[in-house]
Amino acid sequence: MFGMNFAQKMVFWLLRVSLGWLFFYAGITKVLKPEWSAAEYIAGAKVFVEFFNFLASPEILPIVNLLNKWGLTLLGVSLMLGVLVRFSSFFGAVLMVLYYLAALDFPHPNPHDYLVDEHIIYALVLLFFMLTNAGKIGGIDRWWGKPPEIIEE
């Protein structure tokens, strides 16, 4: 993101942090509610039904619930702190595509949308973050993996 002025960097940072808060809140509310399960959402799938039935099976559903709760929470933390953003954004985009497919009743992901819903927008923004290395703007990724500077007196 070289060549950005301060205002552009600030808006970019605000987008990353606010999306991070959205994911963190969505995840932590599920973590704090032990009875929460993705079963009902998955059961509504109308495309790739066999795949989603597999995810809802009694052996797999506890893993899906754990990955869902903590995946959202940690994705949010990653985006807010700007740490491991490229890594977390990729997996967050995959998660958003899974949410989209589970809700899709082609061509309507929900009654108010046609082809594109918020999950597609989130996935695209996450892919944008991944490809632009968004954690380097006001985030821990800025220093991640950099060798320490040698200070000469």
Tell me the per-residue pLDDT of 51-103, one tens digit each, with 9 for 90 and over: 999 999 999 999 999 999 999 999 999 999 999 999 999 999 999 999 999 98
- Residue 81 and residue 90 in contact, taking contact as beta carbons nearer than 8 Å: no
For residue 100, the model assigns a pLDDT of 93
Does some domain include residue 94? yes
Give the pTM: 0.88
Cα(4)–Cα(136) distance, integer angstroms: 12
Does some domain include residue 153? no
For residue 115, the model assigns a pLDDT of 87
What residues make up the domain containing 39?
A: 21-138
User: Mean pLDDT, to the nearest integer, of 109-133?
Assistant: 91
> What CA dihedral angle connects 53, 45, 65 and 67, to 10 degrees?
100
Cα(74)–Cα(67) distance, integer angstroms: 10
Does some domain include residue 45? yes
Q: Is the pLDDT of residue 147 over 60?
A: no
